[in-house]
Amino acid sequence: MAKKVKVGIVGGTGYTGVELLRLLALHPQVELTVITSRGDAGTWVADMFPSLRGYVTLTFSDPATANLSVCDVVFFATPHGVAMNQAESLIAAGVKIIDLAADFRLQDTTVFEQWYKMPHACPDVLKQAVYGLPELFRQDIQQAQVIGNPGCYPTTVLLGLAPLLEKGYIDFSAPIIADAKSGVSGAGRKAEVSTLFSEASDSMKAYGVAGHRHHPEIVAQLNLLAKTELDFIFVPHLIPMIRGMLSTLYVKLTASAQGVDLQALYETRYANEYFVDVLPSGRLPETRSVRGANHLRIALQPQASGYLTLVVVQDNLVKGAAGQAVQNMNIMMGFDEKMGLQVLPLLP
């Protein structure tokens, strides 16, 4: 068996950070080496997260003094802007980077600066970064030094629409519409009134309707797949559960798509994708069917008006974040892509 890779996690105290720890602690080819936290340096990881007792025996390190250059791979589970300020020195040390924030998702620095209100610190590194959606860009990921791990909403939209876009079956005279819903963990592990139990429970609301940061990311990738610019309407919603994401997508089909067996198209396209499950005709997915696992499930429902409805579910913290990041690491390091990710969904 190949030598274990030394892994560092910058920002190990958030939800994506602890999800990375959960998955990597049992990964047979990973040696957890450095886990940083600015506010909790010196604290035993298992004291903060008792679920990791017996599995993770490290303390959090201060990011100002942590030696990340000893790692083979570093995951950034941090706010936007952190990874790009450390990328150049880590690359010089031969470290591979997987950023779970937005620093390396948008190739257009003007768009990045417009949405994230900060200049991009390393545009030259950005140019070589690969968008880490394995089912679409696996070959590029294999050769990559820097990965921009996709956002959670974009993962559902792009994998939901890719087979149609690849075949040219979407009529762009009508906009693509994504009505998406996420659990509260998508907002991150922080003290905020809107995510308090008494505020979020027994309620549902739309947010980011005037503009959400995932919108330009989705549009950039849709345009790339479509080889043209298209109209896209995206409305995210907060729903009163901890984890889970459901995106309902509406598209107008081209005349050439009429009569095509779209169910067979999707089943064929994803036949060899372990983490993408196309449900049988007539079945609809539930978020609980992917809870805690790296799977994404898709269902198709043709409409008599020439439109198609797609329903896509995933766990926003796994396939939507940490699980996808581990999947990318496996590809970059030449491991079996499923390694460390063959986790059954939790039910109930």
Q: What are 289-311's pLDDT values in tens digits?
A: 999 999 999 999 999 889 999 99
Mean pLDDT of the chain: 96
| Residue 85 sits in the same domain as residue 157 | no
Which residues lie closer than 8 Å to 304 by C-beta, 6 or more apart? none
Q: For residue 51, give the CATH number of its domain.
A: 3.40.50.720
pLDDT at 304: 85
Share of the chain above pLDDT 90, in %: 93
| Residue 38 sits in the same domain as residue 170 | no
Share of the chain above pLDDT 70, in %: 99
Q: Within a domain: residue 285?
A: yes
Q: Within a domain: residue 329?
A: no
Active site members: 152
pLDDT at 190: 83
Burial of 65 (0-12, 13-18, 19+ CB in 10 A): exposed
Q: What are 189-225's pLDDT values in tens digits?
A: 887 888 888 989 999 999 999 999 999 999 999 999 9
Is the omega angle on the peptide bond into residue 280 within 30 degrees of 0, that is, cis?
A: no
| Residue 98 sits in the same domain as residue 242 | no
First-to-last alpha carbon distance for the chain, in angstroms, is 36
Q: Within a domain: residue 192?
A: yes
The parent domain of residue 293 ranges over: 153-316
Provide the CB-side half-sphere exposure for 4 (13 A, CA). 13
Q: What is the mean pLDDT of residues 244-268?
A: 97
Q: What are 71-127's pLDDT values in tens digits?
A: 999 999 999 999 999 999 999 999 999 999 999 999 999 999 999 999 999 999 999
Q: Within a domain: residue 46?
A: yes
Dihedral of CA atoms 176, 181, 185, 191 in degrees, nearest 10, equals 100
Q: For residue 311, give the CATH number of its domain.
A: 3.30.360.10
Q: Within a domain: residue 57?
A: yes
C-alpha separations of 8 from 54, 74, 252, 302 in Å = 19, 5, 45, 45
Q: How confident is the model at residue 1 (pLDDT cuts 50, 70, 90)?
A: low
